[in-house]
Amino acid sequence: MSIDYNKLMNEPRLLLEASLKPLQGDRFQPTGFPDLGPARYTAPDGTEMLLVESVQSVANRMELACWNEEKDDLLDELQGLPFIRVKDADGVPLTNSVLESHRINSPYILESQDTTVFQKLKEDTAGFEIGAVKIKDLAKLVLKYDVNALLHGVFIAKSELAGGRLRLSRSLSGFIEAKSAGTVESGGVKNDRVNPSGDTKSGFGNVPFHRSEFTAKEITAYFNLDLALLRGYSLGKDVTKLLIALSLLKIRRFLENGLRLRTACDLEVAGALTVKRPTTFIIPETPVLLAECKTLIEKCKSLFADPAITEVKWTAKPKKDKKSDKASDDESEQGE
């Protein structure tokens, strides 16, 4: 079954849900935040809720769903999609814009002594400096270098590039919540076989620790694709179709292969992926989505960078000598 794009033509959003459950047992470990711990909250009806996975984390995991870890490259069917690859001084792949948290705005891309990508972006954004940034033009630029950034958002905060105002919001987002969440408190001890009473501050001795896990009546993954935003980019029907197909593929593969969120949080889908809006839309299976993406990549390749993979060599910029800077400032003041 192919994608029925007509069902989405006049819809502002595509909303999907999937019920999840622990792969084994009932306990799971949610995401945690510094100085906060697990994100617990109370729903308006009084239900105890828990954030299992944040929007930021799900975005990263959906990007990873399109990556072949063994080959360190995109899936075979997605070859031809543009992205930026960073290599080290020896020419060995180091990272890339698909896997970097800030995508094109990664410091490994824009803060290297190799200014290849920076200069390309500066040339392509000439004319963006004055007035409001035209989102259509920015979307066309981002499409050229990394299609994934159109879905997951990007903020190129370099003052030299249009005053640091190049921003696209996420069009594809997701998160996981648990309902009627209860705490499971446990713990253990890191045993020192040699000297149980050793200096624990240095890593010796027996060290007891506390552990909090959770159970829940329901665990649900939610996904939201902003169709109105994609259409607003005015990138053409084929590009819009590609972005939709790629989004559905990311969701499918995340649910099929990416639900081991942490050591103590291994989940699986408990039911079918459900379309909540529009209810008449049917999501094709993964093989169909892969084939659709492959076809659409070929149709859209004239809009991508040539070659599709833009490479940059990572070489850290030399650190400024604060003493030298201070001396220069002093000399400047004396000269005045």
Q: 190 with 207: CB under 8 angstroms? A: yes
**pLDDT computed for residue 210 by the predictor:** 76
Name which of 74-83, 197-206, 274-283, 293-302 the model is least confident about. 197-206
Residue-averaged pLDDT of the chain: 91
Q: Which residue has the tokens 């060290």?
A: 207
247 CB-near residues (< 8 Å, 6+ apart): 14, 151, 171, 172, 225
pLDDT-derived band at 336 (thresholds 50, 70, 90) equals: very low
Q: Say whether pLDDT at 321 is over 70.
A: no
**Overall average pLDDT of the 26-44 stretch:** 91
Q: Phi and psi for 80 in degrees, rounded to 5? A: 110, -20
Q: Which residue has the tokens 């001890």?
A: 189
**Overall average pLDDT of the 148-153 stretch:** 95
Q: Which residue has the tokens 């020192």?
A: 192
Tell me the per-residue pLDDT of 223-253, one tens digit each, with 9 for 90 and over.
999 999 999 999 999 999 999 999 999 999 9
Residue 104: closest CA among 160, 35, 33, 152: 152
129 CB-near residues (< 8 Å, 6+ apart): 162, 163
pLDDT-derived band at 202 (thresholds 50, 70, 90) equals: confident
CA angle 205–209–212, rounded 5-degree value: 170
Q: Say whether pLDDT at 323 is over 60.
A: no
Tell me the per-residue pLDDT of 179-191, one tens digit each, with 9 for 90 and over.
999 999 888 888 8
**Overall average pLDDT of the 248-277 stretch:** 96
pLDDT-derived band at 333 (thresholds 50, 70, 90) equals: very low
User: pLDDT exceeding 70 applies to what percent of the chain?
Assistant: 95
Q: 231 with 216: CB under 8 angstroms? A: no
- Alpha-carbon distance of 109 to 312, in angstroms, equals 7
**pLDDT computed for residue 206 by the predictor:** 86
Tell me the per-residue pLDDT of 131-145, one tens digit each, with 9 for 90 and over.
888 999 999 999 999
**pLDDT computed for residue 189 by the predictor:** 85
Tell me the per-residue pLDDT of 97-122, one tens digit each, with 9 for 90 and over.
999 988 999 999 999 999 999 999 99
- Alpha-carbon distance of 191 to 135, in angstroms, equals 57
- Alpha-carbon distance of 8 to 278, in angstroms, equals 7
Q: Say whether pLDDT at 148 is over 70.
A: yes
- Alpha-carbon distance of 260 to 23, in angstroms, equals 9
Question: Can you state the angle between helices 116-124 and 135-145, rounded to 10 degrees?
Answer: 150
**pLDDT computed for residue 126 by the predictor:** 87
User: pLDDT exceeding 90 applies to what percent of the chain?
Assistant: 76
Tell me the per-residue pLDDT of 276-311, one tens digit each, with 9 for 90 and over.
999 999 999 999 999 999 999 999 999 999 999 999
